[in-house]
Structure 1
Amino acid sequence: MNSVLKKGMLLSVLALSVNAATAAESVDIKVTGKILPSSCTPSFPSGGGIADFGTMKVASLNSTSMTPLTDMKEVPISISCEEDTRIAVKFTDARDASSPTESVEFNSFSGAKQFAFGLGTYNGKNIGAYALGIPRTQGANTNDAGDALYPMMSLDGGNSWGVRGMDHLQIASDNREIYAFGTELNGGTLSPQTKINFKVAVEATINPTNDLSITDEVTLDGLTNVELVYL
């Protein structure tokens, strides 16, 4: 093939390409981006989120019945938001496999099984249970201005709110509820907040030691995940 013919073929291909490129009569401009909600961050201002019931002797525990521990521990939690935000929290039992299947006994909280969280296992047997509650007393929970906040619970994802209990709003262990804070003791409207400081009270009970057959050290192993829910 001679060089003249090669050049002629090349020019023909280029011409076809130009014609195809000019066939489109319109182009699209896309406008995109994202709007993110105000970000909130939970933290433990002190104590590291640990409710420590200390060391106890086997002899101090009931051998044939549950032993409700008399101490009530409190774990402070703080939620900080970039701006006023409608925020709630959900509590999930990370040791649910060891939670009781029947009612148990606590010192002051309800021992109904839907409120009992698992304390882990020892030699394949449940060690006991613990209960959680948010104080309803004035000043126990506050916002960034120091105003009193009161806990509320919702069974329908935040569409409606209610309260229960006297000194504490006890937390369900079956993940059926979320919890938020308002400015009225008896519930009502969820208040958007920039900061929420609240406490979680903890009570524990130990299963009969005869059932546990304790021969060495037993560590209470309760673990609850606290998750933010944006509303």
Structure 2
Amino acid sequence: MRGWACLWLVLGILTWGASLAEAGCVPDRFEDNDYTVCRFDLRKEKLKLFSLDPAGEPYGSFRALKAALHEQGLELVFAMNAGMYGEDLKPIGLYVEEGRRFKKANRRDGPGNFHLKPNGMFFIDGNRGGVMETEAFLAAGLSPRYASQSGPMLVIDGDIHPKFSRNGTSYLRRNGVGSPDPHTLVFAISEGSVNFHSFARLFRDHLGCQNALFLDGSISSLHAEELSRSDGFFSLGPIVALVKER
């Protein structure tokens, strides 16, 4: 009986683990920091970007996007803030939605995280997606269905951004995106304050991403239905989302 009990316990744990893996977003821990990590196979899940509502105004929140989708018979399954934006909540760098370029690539120098070069893009095109440094993306001549520019890059071809220090003193809640292969995007949000170097190591050393991009800090927000979570602390610019029919 004891043997059967152990067997059922193991099977239960395996089933629970499999359900978490299929759920998309799961709690994770790396180097004594807590994260939520959301992994999507683009061959199975169709991610999209959202910025402006039908009236041409920014959605600004998961709540507003969820309500708009509900009217169309759709469900917001996953969402995360997805790129730098200005005071008007509109993108300040390249932004492509449904194949239409709303904003061209921003190659200017300036203050702030976005201009801590190299910055970069994350993009989705059918069942493929990825993260690339801005100049490499433009040189490749890609025209994806969705793209958002943000910065700085966290990991560039396996190397951590050269301006990050392991002992960096800027600690914030942060979120970002990486791509371990051409069909997978991995999003992560820290549950506490981390510095850039630590966050970059998460993507490179723990999540297996040779390229990863910082999406934002402080306002970092996540909507995950399976975790019964929908952050609503700050106004948001571009949003990446997984939407399904209800």
Q: Same fold (TM over 0.5)?
A: no
TM-score between the two structures when normalised by the length of structure 2: 0.24
Structure (1 or 2) with the larger CA radius of gyration? 1
TM-score by length of 1: 0.25
Higher helix share: 2
